[in-house]
Amino acid sequence: MFQACNNNSKPEADNYPGVIDSSSQIIKPVYISERSLNDTDDPAIWINPVDPSKSLILGTDKGNLNGGIYVYDLEGKIDSASSIFNLKRPNNIDVEYGFPFKGGKTDIAVFTERGRNMIRVYSLPDMMAIDNGGIEVFAGATDRDPMGIGIYHDKSASKFYAVVSRKSGPDGAYLWQYELLEENGIVTGTKVREFGQFKGKNEIEALVVDDELGYIYYSDEGVGVRQYFASPDRGNDELSVFATSGIKEDHEGLSIYKLTDTTGYILLSDQAAGRFHIFSREGTKDNPYEHRLLKIIGVEARDSDGSDVTSVAVNSTFKHGLFVVMSTDKTFHYYRWEDIAGKDLKMKWTDL
């Protein structure tokens, strides 16, 4: 395992010469979504493959009995007809493309319903449940309460997996991974492994999966970001831990901006500071698991937990990509990637 420096209270930019710290210049969003009812937590961006301008933002709203998955357009307006209500504390959400279903393929949204110890699977874009009421997770465990989720599509093996974190759990088995399959028109889940180091300082919620490179990253809050192979066939050894210094309080939301199949950026929420730390997606020549801190930015969103980002040009407003960030005032903030990148980071170019 390759490990970064130990945690301390110094700003991380001071520890890594060359890091650009622009966090004092607060970036303003292009749009702020309409408010949800309870408590926004985590967004997921679904790209419409036919018309990217009709892409959707799905956001969790953590009501204990009246929670929901809110569906927003690219200006933050709620589509109530497509949104899902009366859920029991939906926590985090992810999307994946091309899931085999009923002899064809469908895109899916998968989220944790914490109050029922379930993960839920809905087809996209029609937002129809295809899981017969839910897939039970952490069955038989003392600690359950599912929170974070990331979907992994292993294209080489034609398999789909859900990786799930929880409110509390043991070191070495904090996360459980499930293979998702369709059986007679219903999506089911079979546990394939337990893994994940945990230092016990807080909890593990946020995680993100890099389909192309085959990695899972998750935030061990107050400690750092941990990296593992996404395929259960490649073992449970930790590959790296980074972002171990310079975070004010909790390591939270994670997302990946993809320049190519192998290059881009990993974005980490420094929740209490209103900042995001941006790391290289690709490793270095000497260490493929070393993710260098490149830039620290400040955003207008408050106490940001979950986030998602895409490099797809969804319209002329977001022609180099869209960064969606949860804010504690029951909204999601929409940022242009060029405002995040400035003159310091690369952008995926488009003809829009």
- Each residue's pLDDT tens digit, 216-237: 999 999 999 999 999 999 999 9
Residue 1 domain flag: no
What integer best gives the mean pLDDT of the chain? Answer: 94
Report yes or no on 346 lying in a domain: no
**pLDDT band of 287, cuts 50, 70, 90:** very high
C-alpha pair distances (Å), 59 with each of 92, 210, 326: 8, 20, 9
342: how many CB neighbours lie within 10 A of its CB? Answer: 13
Tell me the mean pLDDT in the region 276-282. Answer: 97
Residue 3 included in any domain: no
3-class secondary structure, 340: helix
Short-list 211, 298, 309, 215, CA closest to 267: 309
Of 8-17, 73-82, 97-106, least confident by mean pLDDT is 8-17
- Domain count within the chain: 1
Residues of the domain holding 50: 8-341
Give the mean model confidence (pLDDT) for residues 305-324.
97
Q: How many Cβ atoms from other residues are within 10 Å of residue 52's Cβ?
A: 18
What would the mean pLDDT of 10-19 be, rounded to a whole number? Answer: 58
What is the per-residue pLDDT for 2? 38
pLDDT score of 202 more than 70: yes
Please report which confidence band the pLDDT of residue 16 belongs to, taking 50, 70 and 90 as the band edges.
low
pLDDT at 14 over 80: no
Helix (H) or strand (E) holding 107: strand 104-113
CA-to-CA dists, residue 205 to 120, 164, 199, 250, 311, angstroms: 17, 9, 14, 11, 24
Choose between 201 and 314: higher pLDDT.
314
> Higher-confidence residue: 64 or 1?
64
pLDDT of amino acid 7: 38
The answer to the question of residue 223 being in a domain is: yes
Residue 248: its pLDDT value, please?
85
User: What's the pLDDT at 268?
Assistant: 97
Per-residue pLDDT at 9: 37
Return the pLDDT at 3: 39
Confirm whether 82 is domain-assigned. Answer: yes
CA torsion angle for 303, 307, 311, 316 (degrees, to 10)?
-70
**The predicted structure's pLDDT at residue 288:** 94
Confidence of residue 18 (pLDDT cuts 50, 70, 90): confident
Report the relative pairing of strands 251-258 and 240-242 from DSSP bridges. unpaired
Q: What is the pLDDT of residues 44-90, one digit of tens each?
A: 999 999 999 999 999 999 999 999 999 999 999 999 999 999 999 99
Examine residue 24 and state whether it is found in any structural domain, yes or no: yes
Is the per-residue pLDDT at 168 higher than 50?
yes
* CATH number of 16's domain: 2.120.10.30
Confidence band, pLDDT 50/70/90 cuts, at residue 351: low
pLDDT band at 172 (very low <50, low <70, confident <90, very high): very high
Look at residue 295 and tell me whether its pLDDT is greater than 70.
Answer: yes
Per cent of the chain over pLDDT 70 is 95
Report which of residues 14 and 281 the model is more confident about. 281
**HSE of 349, CA atoms in CB hemisphere, 13 A:** 2
351 assigned to some structural domain:
no
Q: Say what the pLDDT of residue 249 is.
A: 77
Residue 348 located in a structural domain: no
Q: Say whether 254 sits in a helix, a strand or coil.
A: strand
